[in-house]
Amino acid sequence: MSFDDVYRKYYKELRRFGRQLNISAEKCEDLTQETFMKFCIGINKGVIFNNPRAWLYKVYLNQFKTLCNSREYDGGSEGNSMKADNHSEDALEEYSKKEKRRIVFEMLDKLTDNDKAILILYNHGLSYAEMAEVLEINPNSVGTTLVRAIDRLKETLKIHYHEMFEQN
């Protein structure tokens, strides 16, 4: 795949990944561009990328971790206000879905970086092999790691939003 093909195919996906990590739009754009710049440099040096998608996610995640350890990171201070403009049933249903999604992403921030990363990678449809490559873990332990992260997310949701889990 050429640089242009990879860029067109994964640019939006990588930006969405950054936004889901709760990075501000500006920092997200910076990390995305830096990731693709490193990819371009690699191509120019003759590096062969067997799985460019996994490589991009891995580089992006490493840059995110570096950002988190720097003084520049504000923890993603941009809020997502979800408002329904129309009180019709469809608008209320859409609002409810958006609000639940907002809550899940809010609770993701309460998890460890590794739990958060594997859940978002899974949500982006990466294969277990790709997740193992990105997170630098044994491919055989991806399933267990993912299940444990899901369980911790459920527990966090139950603690903070128990009303979502109450049976009627």
pLDDT digit string, tens, across residues 77-89: 444 333 334 445 6
Cα(50)–Cα(123) distance, integer angstroms = 22
% of the chain with per-residue pLDDT over 70:
80
| b/e sequence 73-93, b meaning 16+ C-beta within 10 Å | eeebeeeeeeeeeeeeeeeee
How many C-beta neighbours within 10 Å does residue 164 have? 11
pLDDT band, residue 35 (cuts 50/70/90): very high
pLDDT band, residue 95 (cuts 50/70/90): low
Q: Half-sphere exposure (CA, 13 Å, Cβ side) for 93?
A: 3
> Is-above-0.85 flag for pTM?
no
